[in-house]
Structure 1
Amino acid sequence: MEEPKRDFPKPKRSKTDHVKNIVQSYLQKRNYAPLGIENCHPDQHLTYSLIENEISRPNSILYSCYNSDSVVIDHNFTKFLTWLKDCIKTKNCNDLEHLIAPFFCHLYLDILKGGHSDRAANFLKAHLLAIDKTKCDDFVKDLLNLFANDCDATCMIEQFRNNKYFIELSPQSLDLLKKFVGENCHVVFLHVLQTWFDIRENDEQDKEIRGEMDDKGAPHNGVCLDDKFRKILDAINDLEKEPKQIFIANISHTNDPISCAVIKRNCGLIAYNQNNVVHLRPVHSFDPILGLHDCKEIKFYDHTKRVYSITISPDCSKLVTGSEDSNLCLYDLNVIKLIRNCGGHLGPIYCTSISSNSVYCASGSCDTTARLWDLETGHNLRVFVGHTQAITCIDFHPNCLYVATGGADRNIRLWSVDNGTPLRLFHGCKGVVYGVAFSPLGDTLASVSDDKKIRLWDILNSKINNEIKQKGLPGTKLVWSSDGKQLCTGAIDGVVRVWDLRQIDSSEPQIGLNVNGKILHLEYSFDTFACVT
């Protein structure tokens, strides 16, 4: 027989236990970390209840709940503006105005971060006109203009949010701000103020000293505290006015001209030929070259005749030189050592190029052939035969599968790296081809020739997409920008031109600069063009 079930009475729970279970259940649903408040000292209850920062998970959840409500943000910003205007009017605290614009930008970005683009647009429209742009620095002013015009401001926003905004306030203004924060501050205001601002009390004596050091008289409030970054911004402002020399190599007691040079700003190196000797220097003469101390210059004496071409690999580990003595020299820059002196060409080597993966090197010679070399061993891998006159320029495709050569026979040829077979013939130039360069995407090949024209070739169809007529003497050097939207050319008469390929129909360069010297090399890095003369 089955034993009859017995109903045992459930234990009764006190009201305290019932409330405790409800509270714990709520905290678990909200993902709050257990703080054990019921076991702590009474004096610690207030500490646990305060929102100190956004690092802890409960604070992040709490802040995100408030942040999703644009009405709360709008109300508190309006209250802040009203209080600020009253302080300026009655207490004459004008320095508080520098807080408005960056504070507004951070609130706007926080609303966007919460995924409320429509609410952010309404917030921007409601308060943008109330902000006096004359009271904020140029960076914030540009950021506000991008917001107002609905432009892409990704780069500026990243910079803005990666640095605390530095503001100096007078003792009176700082006391008023602390009082406002203590009495009326909402969690949104407190979060923005603690996370994105570095507010300090200015010292009048220190202010006078800094005022003497500030030649432009600009306010000390700004986005970034990094001195190096300030120098970079100053350099960019200088470049917008007029290009300046970034490096000078003083050469004396010689009648032999500099036949070739190359600069790599990303690794801080410049190399040039003088008296058949290859000189390697740091861009800044006071920096140690390649980590070697007490070394201002490195010289290579491996060529017996003039060097016509110098190339540094993209990873700055290899140096390649081509000379009138028909030899190609490969150097390892990590150990400052000659890897191999490569022979094979039957005439002077006029041009060299290194693949983007730093595996291959290509050279073009007066003997009408181009050769492919292993950059590690110096072994000759391919010989490209097809030109009828000297090869004057050479370049690797970005995918490292093809090589383009231009020659004195007015032709441009495309070769396969894999088997050395010719793939394309580009004919249409009416003069010696001085330079070829693949676009970053690899779909277009640019060329400059003796007929004073820049041609953009469609690689698939071997046809000319665009043809630009240059003024003055022919161009000999060219380089693309990393986004493929600009092309920089250097002419025999020392004129550097930057062409905006999005406005190619204008046939006028975006920038024209006469450097008053022979252009030896063009380079693009750090979003700017540079030339060696």
Structure 2
Amino acid sequence: MEDAKRDINKTKRSKSDHVKNIVHSYLQKRNYASIGIQDNTKIDQQITYSLVENEISRPNSILYSCYNSDPVVIDHNFSKFLSWVKDLTKNKNICQDIEHLIAPLFCHLYLDILKGGHSERAATFFKAHLPAIDKTKCDDFVKDLINLFTNDCDATCMIEQFRGNKYFLELSPQTLALLKKFVVENCHVVFLHVLQTWFELQQVDEKENETDEKMEEKPESNGVCVDNRFQKIMEVIQDLEKEPKQIFQINISFTNETVTCGLIKRNCGLVAYNQDNIVHLRPIHPYDPIMGVSDCKEIRLTDHSKRVYSVAISPDHTRLVTASEDSTLCIYDLTEMRLIKNCSGHLGPIYCASISSNSVYAASGSHDTTARLWNTDTGQTLRTFVGHTQAVTCLDFHPNCLYLATGSADRNIRMWSVDNGGPLRLFHGSKGVVYSVTFSPLGDTLASVGDDKKVRLWDILGSKINNEIKYKGEPITKLVWSKNGKQLCTASIDGVLRIWDLPQCQDNSPDNKNQEPSMNLNINGKIVALEYSFETFACLTS
């Protein structure tokens, strides 16, 4: 009898070991760290936990490729780029401006290899390509940075400044077109990501360039000198530029109904808000038409049967989405002022909605604990993101449109792949309901606020908190970044608007937790929406 029991136990153990071996083999193939399997029902949770802890996403994602930058791929791509530039400038004298891109690109690629943990490969890359850098074609800052690298000096401060701003470069239309063609046809995605992340390439008209050169030469030829009065005026202008800019505020007046949500877009002169289940579109300036429609002072959208919780507009101002308590999402075409589709699928009220920066996708978060991805042209459901255990309260698209972040009443923030709907990151550490999440302009940081009265800045590669700022007063419900990512504007329930200077709080020291905002403004009324445009923050109040 005992022998039979031993045989049964041995059979069970052999089956268990077989399952463990299969799972272990699968995890190794997918680059996951090995984990102990205790219960088959917990396999999915453990895989997700392993993915987050080891900073691994799917192998072909941008984040994975950049974090694990392959030095061989970078070296090969930069060599091809140098050969292409040499041939281009040899045959076409009009493309000489591309040479100014070589030195800063060389520095960023070198730093990316170092960041990936390949110090020896980085040194080899630096020595191999340093002779190709023409220091007469780069500015003084980049020249000094290269000299520090060459002499093995401490360049921490200069690197922070170099990586804290985008490198601005103006190229002729033909040069920019040739560069885009070269990158698309010949370069790895890592090379493309470096250009998108660290460079601001703008097209300049050659005729305007010639005019500017003539205007610059004219004062010298006429012998005009700058007098003391003019110099004092310039100093006053510089002092004014250092002063904090005023908050642009628009108030919704002449109404007794509660405003549940809204948006403000000054670059298209539009405000939108909900009252009594109706979404109102109005121009910012009373005498302007809406979206260029003549003699049109207000548009009312009446396609929802219950109150609207969220309104979002696409960056190109062609799409508008509204999310409602009636469990539907409405997508509108603003060019033709028509409803594209009233989308159904959620099983509860929809609390938040957003549109991607390429205007292709819309996302919604619901009381049913799921988020959904929609096609803005057809209204078709593309993905359903399942993982939260309570209502999804906020969401935001990554600037590259490949990822979606969702915050929930379950106190967790999750990041998803737009491409396949899979989970990529889990940010846990909030002590209450998450009210708002938003990616920084560079896409390397995620800001969040919640019921625990803390502003958190998350490193999306490491799934960890870079900084945590504690504040006093009522909870913050809205967030918006400045264009350069150096300031964050927050709005709280009690109508207090704060602006935080982020370069002062790069680490998570106790001083940063008690940091004071650079501006603290009490707004008369409820803050319905925030935005940043024209180099200033703006708010819509009711």
Name 2:174's counterpart in structure 1: none
Shift of 1:532: 1.3
Work out whether 1:512 is the aligned partner of 2:515.
no
User: Which residue is equivalent to 2:128?
Assistant: none
CA distance in structure 1 between the aligned counterparts of 2:392 and 2:139, rounded to whole angstroms: 60
- 1:349 aligns with 350
Q: Distance in 2 between matches of 1:238 and 1:340?
A: 46
Q: Deviations over 1:137-189 (max 9, x none)?
A: xxxxxxxxxxxxxxx9x9xxx9xx97999xxxxxxxxxxxxxxxxxxxx9975
Cα distance in structure 2, aligned partners of 1:278 and 1:187: 55
Q: Following superposition of structure 1 onto structure 2, how do residues 247-396 of structure 1 map, counting pairs within 5 Å?
A: 247-252=250-255, 254=256, 256-396=257-397
Q: Which amino acid letter does the alignment assign opposite residue 252 of structure 2?
A: A
**Offset at 1:500?**
0.8
User: C-alpha distance in 1, partners of 2:292/2:279?
Assistant: 19
SS of 1:266 mapped into structure 2 = helix
Match of 1:29 in 2: none
What is the aligned partner in structure 1 of residue 4 from structure 2?
A: none
Q: Distance in 2 between matches of 1:274 and 1:238?
A: 39
Aligned to 1:105: none
How far, CA to CA, are the matches of 2:277 and 2:412 in structure 1? Answer: 30
Q: Which has the higher contact order (CA 8 A, sep 6+)?
A: 2
Structure 2 Cα separation of the partners of residues 326 and 116 of structure 1: 56
Task: Give the structure with the larger helix fraction.
Answer: 2
User: Once the 2 structures are TM-superposed, how far is the Cα of residue 508 of structure 1 from its aligned partner?
Assistant: 1.1
Alpha-carbon distance change, 188 to 499 in structure 1, aligned in 2, over 3 angstroms: closer
Give SS of 1:259's match: strand
Contact 1:396/1:404, CA 8 A, preserved across alignment: yes
Give the match for residue 483 of structure 2. 482
- Does 2:423 match 1:422? yes
**2:537 alignment counterpart:** 529
TM-score for both structures, normalised by structure 1:
0.56
Q: 1:278 to 1:238 in 2, by over 3 A?
A: farther
1:420 aligns to what SS in structure 2? Answer: coil
**What is the Cα deviation at residue 319 of structure 1?**
0.5
Given the superposition, is the C-alpha separation of residues 240 and 272 from structure 1 closer, same or farther in structure 2, using an over 3 Å criterion? farther
Deviations 1:186-237 (A, max 9, x none): 99755465xx99xxxxxxxxxxxxxxxxxxxx99x989xxxxxxxxx9xx97
Distance 2:219 2:273 in 1: 58
**How far 1:247 moved relative to its partner?**
3.4
How far apart are 1:510 and its partner, in Å? Answer: 1.2
Contact 2:249/2:540, CA 8 A, preserved across alignment? no
User: How do 1:40-59 residues align onto structure 2 when only pairs under 5 Å count?
Assistant: none
Q: Distance in 2 between matches of 1:279 and 1:238?
A: 36
**Residue 528 of structure 1: how far off its partner (Å):** 1.0
* C-alpha deviation, 1:518, in angstroms: 1.8
- DSSP 3-state at the match of 2:315: coil
Distance 1:469 1:116 in 2: 40
Where 2:268 maps in the other structure, the secondary structure is coil
Amino acid at match of 1:251: F
Whether contact under 8 Å (2:481, 2:488) holds in the other structure is yes
Shift of 1:493: 1.3
Q: Deviations along 1:293-320, whole A, 9 cap, x unmatched?
A: 2111111110110000000101111100
Q: Once the 2 structures are TM-superposed, how far is the Cα of residue 249 of structure 1 from its aligned partner?
A: 3.4
Instruction: Give the Cα–Cα distance (whole angstroms) in 2 for the partners of residues 449 and 244 of structure 1.
Output: 24
| 2:524 aligned partner, one-letter code | N
Alignment deviations for residues 313-365 of structure 1 (CA, whole Å, 9 cap, x no partner): 01111100000000000001001000000000111110011111111000000
CA distance in 1, matches of 2:247, 2:396: 29
Structure-1 separation of matches of 2:403 and 2:300 = 33
Which deviates more from structure 2 when the two are superposed, residues 519-528 or residues 505-514? 505-514
Alignment correspondent of 1:448: 449
1-side partners of 2:212 and 2:520: how far apart?
36
Query: Quick one: distance in 1 between partners of 2:338 and 2:240?
Result: 40
d(CA) in 1 for partners of 2:213, 2:460: 45
- CA deviations over 1:114-147 (Å, ceiling 9, x no partner): x999xxxxxxxxxxxxxxxxxxxxxxxxxxxxxx
Q: CA deviation at 1:516?
A: 2.7
Contact 1:277 1:299 in 2 (8 A): yes
* Counterpart contact for 1:493–1:516, Cα < 8 Å: no
2: CA distance, partners of 1:378 / 1:293: 28
Letter in 1 for 2:422: T
Report the secondary structure of 2:259's partner residue: coil
**Higher gyration radius (CA):** 1
- Deviation string for 1:377-425 (max 9, x for gaps)? 1100000011110000000011101100000000000111011111111
2:20 paired residue number: none
Contact 1:496 1:512 in 2 (8 A): yes
Aligned-pair identity in percent equals 64
Structure 1 residues 510, 163: CA separation in 2 closer, same or farther (over 3 Å shift)?
farther
Give the AA of the match of 1:433. Answer: V
Alpha-carbon distance between aligned partners in 1 of 2:504 and 2:222, rounded to the nearest angstrom: 46
Q: Deviations over 1:48-76 (max 9, x none)?
A: xxxxxxxxxxxxxxxxxxxxxxxxxxxxx
Q: Distance in 2 between matches of 1:484 and 1:328?
A: 31
Cα offsets for 1:93-114 (capped at 9, x unmatched)? xxxxxxxxxxxxxxxxxxxxxx
CA distance in 2, matches of 1:435, 1:116: 40
* CA spacing shift, 1:471–1:338, aligned 2, 3 Å: same
CA distance in structure 1 between the aligned counterparts of 2:305 and 2:242, rounded to whole angstroms:
40
**Distance change in 2, residues 1:190/1:265 (3 Å):** same
Residue 413 of structure 2 is matched in structure 1 by 412
Letter in 1 for 2:253: N
Alpha-carbon distance in structure 1 between the residues aligned to 2:139 and 2:423? 56
Shift of 1:263: 0.5
Task: Call closer, same or farther: CA 1:189–1:429 in 2, change over 3 Å.
Answer: closer
Do the aligned residues in 2 keep the contact of 1:371 with 1:382 (CA within 8 Å)? yes
Which residue number corresponds to residue 460 of structure 1? 461
- Contact preservation (8 Å) 1:247, 1:284: no
Measure the CA separation in 2 of the matches of 1:187 and 1:442.
44
- Quick one: structure 1 residues 418 and 162, their matched pair in 2 at CA, closer, same or farther if it must change by over 3 Å? same
* Distance (Å, rounded) in 1 between the aligned partners of 2:304 and 2:494: 29
Residues 91-240 of structure 1: pairs in structure 2 closer than 5 A: 190-191=221-222
